[in-house]
Amino acid sequence: MLCLFVSVLLIIGVQRPTSVHGVPARGGDKKVVPKFTSHGQTFRAVIGDTLVLPCEVQDLGAFVILWRRGSAVLTADKIMVTRDERYRLVDGFNLEIGNVMPQDAGDYVCQIGDGDTRDQIHTVEILVPPSVRTSPANGQLTTRKGGTVTFECKASGNPVPTILWSRKDEPLPSGEKASEGFQITLEKVDRHQAGVYQCTASNGVGEPVTVDMQLDVLYAPEVEVERSWVHSGEGYEAQLVCIVHGEPQPSTVWYQDSFTLEPTERRTMDSRGNKHTLTIRNVQSRDFGNYSCVAENSLGKSRKYMELSGRPSPAQFRSPPYSTSKNSYNLTWLVESYPPLEEVRLLYRKLMLNDSYQQPGKWHDVVLQPSNGETFSHLMSYTIRNLESASVFEAIVQAKNRYGWNEVSDLYQFYTRGPGEHVYDFPADPNMKDMELIAPSSSSSHTFHLATTSFVLALFSSTALHLT
């Protein structure tokens, strides 16, 4: 009945008693026409806000104000037609909408019921903060190594949100810090791509929304060794370390040669994260030899080898590459050995160079008597004399203790000064003395140890291949 009453008011223009706003036309009186003093606008409100739509009219007189939304009448004069309690009239005929929702978006019409169908239209746009829906919904993805995975993140909100992908605490596999789009695809994944990926949706309304997605990569164990050669001595302690990765988590077993190792009073196995350590206390001669750690899970098995040795460590050269003089060079190197060193061999030769090739000369073989101190680190020095000036030389060193010869050192190049070049006076270490010469330098092709023989032959073979 109320809607019918409102419709009748609109059609016949029923008047209210004369008000202070205007007087109906009477006789020759000029008719007073109501008009809007407010203007139609577009309003943007965040979901949950309270919004007031103005409807201010001058000289309304006895006419009726209605609020409509589409075909639905919200108010007629001061009467609330809608049952939605979020709507009310404030300060006259202004329409207030409380706790706005997305469905409140649209056009609202303030109409004067004077028969001329004069309307003032307000457009309401509801701003909605972003929300995110992921695929898969639980945010957990699992794949095997070498597979392809796709993360998907769908966002809703008004305005339409922008989606950025990132990775927690590290860059994306592409090297980018972030990537835009509703999905991201990773191909040929390995363990380095595993981790937490983050989808962030933002549209300028409220705070950005971030969702974490976890990628787990299943793969057979991958084993690395911290050192493939571990030096120790009888009565001391040795540690062998394996770094093991795998998913599912692998089990790790230690071996000496082909025998499984179990914990004893002198031997312990510890695991901290991916690091697995075999510790041997009070090392005995029978402890020297080959060790391996074997990691296994449901996808496979992997093994890496190490050697625990009492032999000296390979020599590491410490002298600067350029000589302090034109005809000699002081070669300095460091060898670690728990037992005393028994013998040291030095080989050096000249390289003949031009613009197109290099031709090595003959090796000069020097046998030296080491001086053993109180430490396990043996810093040794020997001055090679009667060298040609402005020349390039290379040297190798090998040392022996009671367990045998160490591995031959890396090849080391050094240079003598040429005529007219400034000779630098490097300060000498007051504790460094030349080693005692046992056998004089010779240009003999005889070798002193199988390891050195193989190394020298390899050097000549490499040079010959280079020249051809």
pLDDT number for residue 12: 35
Examine the pLDDT at 203 and tell me if it is beyond 90.
yes
Question: For residue range 53-103, what is the model confidence (pLDDT) as tens digits?
Answer: 999 998 888 889 999 999 899 999 999 999 999 999 999 999 999 999 999
pLDDT number for residue 223: 97
* Domain 316-416: which CATH number of 3.90.640.10, 3.40.50.1100, 2.60.40.10, 2.60.420.10: 2.60.40.10
Beta carbons of 221 and 237 less than 8 angstroms apart:
no
Question: For residue range 227-240, what is the model confidence (pLDDT) as tens digits?
Answer: 999 999 999 999 99
For residue 303, give Cα distances in angstroms to 186, 218, 264, 279, 461: 29, 18, 23, 18, 32
Question: For residue range 62-76, what is the model confidence (pLDDT) as tens digits?
Answer: 889 999 999 899 999
Beta carbons of 271 and 252 less than 8 angstroms apart:
yes
Name the superfamily (CATH) of residues 136-218: Immunoglobulins (2.60.40.10)
User: Comparing 452 with 187, which gets the higher pLDDT?
Assistant: 187
Q: Compute the average pLDDT of residues 11-23.
A: 41
Out of 46-55, 113-122, 328-337, 415-424, least confident range? 415-424
Examine the pLDDT at 9 and tell me if it is beyond 90.
no
Domain 36-127 bears CATH identifier 2.60.40.10: yes
pLDDT number for residue 354: 67
Out of 15-24, 143-152, 167-176, 198-207, least confident range? 15-24
User: Comparing 264 with 464, which gets the higher pLDDT?
Assistant: 264
Q: Compute the average pLDDT of residues 27-35.
A: 68
Examine the pLDDT at 25 and tell me if it is beyond 50.
no
pLDDT number for residue 355: 60
pLDDT number for residue 29: 55
For residue 379, give Cα distances in angstroms to 56, 316, 399, 435: 98, 9, 12, 10
Q: Compute the average pLDDT of residues 117-142.
A: 90
pLDDT number for residue 436: 59
pLDDT number for residue 357: 67
Out of 337-346, 353-362, 365-374, 395-404, least confident range? 353-362
Sorting pLDDT into bands at 50, 70 and 90, what band is 423?
A: low
pLDDT number for residue 35: 87
Tell me, which fold does domain 226-309 have in CATH?
A: Immunoglobulin-like (2.60.40)
Phi, psi of 2 (to 5 degrees): -65, -45
Identify the bridge partners of residue 75 per DSSP, sorted by sequence position: 67, 80
Sorting pLDDT into bands at 50, 70 and 90, what band is 33?
A: confident
User: Comparing 446 with 435, which gets the higher pLDDT?
Assistant: 435
Mean pLDDT of the chain: 84
Domains 36-127 and 136-218 share a fold: yes
**Spatial distance between the Cα atoms of 43 and 49, rounded to a whole number of angstroms:** 12
CA contacts within 13 A on the Cβ side of 321: 10
Examine the pLDDT at 421 and tell me if it is beyond 80.
no
Out of 171-180, 225-234, 368-377, least confident range? 368-377
pLDDT number for residue 356: 65
Question: Where are the chain's structural domains?
Answer: 36-127, 136-218, 226-309, 316-416
Q: Compute the average pLDDT of residues 308-325.
A: 94
Q: Compute the average pLDDT of residues 106-123.
A: 86
| Token output for 338 | 């728990």
CB atoms closer than 10 angstroms to residue 252: 19
User: Comparing 467 with 435, which gets the higher pLDDT?
Assistant: 435
